[in-house]
Amino acid sequence: MWDYSKKVKDHFLHPRNAGQIENPDAVGEAGSLACGDQMKLMLKIDENEVITDAKFQTFGCGSAVASASALTEMIMGKKLDEAAHITNKDIVDYLGGLPVEKMHCSVMGHEALESALHNFRGTSPEPAEEAKKHIVCECFGVTDDEILRIVQENSLTTIEDVTHYTKAGGGCMSCHDKIKGLIEQVVGEEKAQQPPRPAGAKLTNIQKMKLIEETFEKEIRPMLKADGGDIELIDIDGNKVIVSLRGMCSSCTSSTFTLKKYIEPKLKEFVSEDLFIEEVKP
């Protein structure tokens, strides 16, 4: 059984605003039956563009019902412009968290709201906007712009995350490369926005050592271990990183190649361009 928060359980067992509105001013839909969830959102909107009533109907699991219920509570009494700023993350926060595999339920809530707002404005959804979209995940019909937005809003870094949040990639998995590309695109944009580390920035020795050790742990060791080898950091002398290869690596004829072509570039990438590597025999 999923570990749902008290609030999720409460909103599932006692859904707020479940049902229909007669003559709604806006209707939004999201999800699909094939995927196992579907949500319909109905709104009453007054002349000042304030949401005066919201009701939902959901086919789906406990967290899908809870997300829809939470959404209606969150938007009630809000102006449309305010409501438009609500993200899936806001829904998750309101519910006191969701299991990561269930994040797509909050995304469905957000999409139903978006769809309702488009429906109200009669602009729905702009053809230009529509034309820019491309389906990435054929199994669940998820588009690139949707993935980009969710990756950005929730700071996702892996394909698995994207699947948990959007379902994309959870079926035949043939789109995994495309999803990876989209994640990299977002990460790249974010990096570009950050001030680049000034070239030759002076790392203190402790910072440098820490970064080098971290790079060994995260980037280098796992790769070597997969081949039955290992590496030991012996010393750091200025920009010279002195290492000793262990296990299979120590007797491997391609170890120099590994050092120069794989390990050194990693250190340059993650620590500093000035580093170079030197091997001592154990």
For the question of residue 35 being annotated catalytic, the response is: yes
- CA pair distance 139, 135, nearest whole angstrom: 10
61 binds other proteins (CB under 8 A): yes
Site of tokens 């199994």: 139
CA atoms within 13 A on the CB side of 195: 4
Q: Which of 187, 133, 140 is nearest to 165 (CA)?
A: 140
59 is a site residue for other proteins (CB under 8 A): yes
Q: What is the DSSP letter of 97?
A: -
Residue number with CB closer to other proteins (64 or 70):
64
Contacting range for other proteins; rule: CB under 8 A; set: 54-62, 86-94, 142-150, 213-221? 54-62
If binding is defined by CB under 8 A, does position 64 make contact with other proteins?
yes
CA–CA distance, 249 with 227 (Å, rounded to integer): 8
Residue where the block lists tokens 């229909």: 20
The one among 11, 26, 45, 60 contacting other proteins by CB under 8 A: 60
Other beta carbons within 10 Å of 27? 16
CA distances from 1 to 10, 91, 164, 243 (A): 16, 22, 17, 48
Nearer to other proteins, 170 or 229 (CB): 170
- Residue 252 falls in the annotated catalytic set: no
Strand partners, 135: 143
Check binding of 35 to other proteins (CB under 8 A): yes
**Which range touches other proteins (CB under 8 A), out of 8-16, 193-201, 236-244, 258-266?**
8-16
**Position 122, amino acid:** G
Q: Tell whether residue 233 is a contact of other proteins (CB under 8 A).
A: no
The SS3 call for residue 58 is: strand
Only one of the segments 45-53, 164-172, 204-212, 259-267 lies at the binding site for other proteins (rule: CB under 8 A); that segment is 164-172
Q: Is 5 in the site for other proteins (CB under 8 A)?
A: no
Q: Is residue 229 a contact point for other proteins (CB under 8 A)?
A: no
**Residues that bind other proteins in the complex, under the rule CB under 8 A:** 1-2, 9, 12-13, 15, 18-19, 29, 33-40, 56-62, 64-65, 101-102, 140, 163, 167, 170-171
